[in-house]
Structure 1
Amino acid sequence: MGIIDKLNKDFESRVRLGIMSILLVNDWVDFTEMKSLLEVTDGNLASHSAGLEKMNYIEVKKEFVGKKPKTSYRVTNVGRIAFKEHLNFLEKLIKSK
């Protein structure tokens, strides 16, 4: 099994890479800010975040602020470990000859 086989397929999408990268350095990030940072559509962000939540990589919090719904995200410990391993394998792949 080569290094490339160790890359986590759950993070192959640029949107998922972006979500995880943003959440790794922030506590909670709300939907509107995440959408703006990644420059993606509502549906694109919703589907990718749902996939990451299903894998227990991120936590999704839905609440009301006044009468407006607010969705926020944060990385879980499982997600932090999995994403850091993915980045380590990427680094090894880049450095391999």
Structure 2
Amino acid sequence: MADLDPHLQAPARLKLVTMLSAVSEAEFAVVRDRLDVSDSVLSKHLSALGEAGYVRMHKGTHQGRRTTWIALTHRGRKALTSHVAVLRALIADVP
């Protein structure tokens, strides 16, 4: 059996990539509010996921203000799919 992805083991990171898997991209503030974390906590998770090649970010303007947009990469989608498959295998025999 494959191993769990160490980049996705933190609950906030797993929630983050799961949220991003449902959209083409999301605004930093929306993600922060949905995860109920501070800017610095989200930035730290995004940095780690960015270094792994799981997310990409770009700056833009939304409603007249500068913002950061976040998207899950193809590599990130594959990692999430594999991670979820391992989780399902781990709990398959749980009554």
Normalising to structure 2: TM-score of the pair? 0.90
Aligned to 2:13: 16
**Superposed structure 1 runs of 4+ greater than 4 Å apart:** none
Unpaired runs of at least 5, structure 1: none
Alpha-carbon distance between aligned partners in 1 of 2:22 and 2:61, rounded to the nearest angstrom: 25
**Larger helix share, 1 or 2:** 1
Whole-angstrom distance in 2 between the partners of 1:52 and 1:40 = 16
Q: Distance in 1 between matches of 2:54 and 2:62?
A: 25
CA apart distance, 1:18: 1.0
Question: What residue in structure 2 maps to residue 93 of structure 1?
Answer: 90
* SS in structure 2 at match of 1:6: coil
Structure 1 residues 21-78: Cα deviation after superposition (integer angstroms, max 9, x where no partner): 0001111100110011100011000110111011110111112447632101111000
Q: Which residue in the other structure is 2:44 paired with?
A: 47
Residue-pair matches, total: 94
**Counterpart-to-counterpart distance in 2, 1:67 and 1:16:** 29
**Percent identity between the aligned chains?**
23
Q: What does 1:72-91 correspond to in 2, within 5 Å?
A: 72-91=69-88
Q: Any idea what SS the aligned residue of 2:87 has?
A: helix
Q: Judging changes above 3 Å, is the alpha-carbon distance between structure 1 residues 46 and 81 closer, same or farther for their aligned structure 2 residues?
A: same
Give the RMSD, CA atoms, in angstroms: 1.7
Specify the code of the residue in structure 2 equivalent to 1:61.
H
TM-score, with structure 1 as normaliser: 0.88
Cα distance change, pair 15–62 in 1 and its aligned pair in 2 (3 A): same
Aligned in 2, Cα 1:68/1:94: closer, same or farther, shift over 3 Å? Answer: same
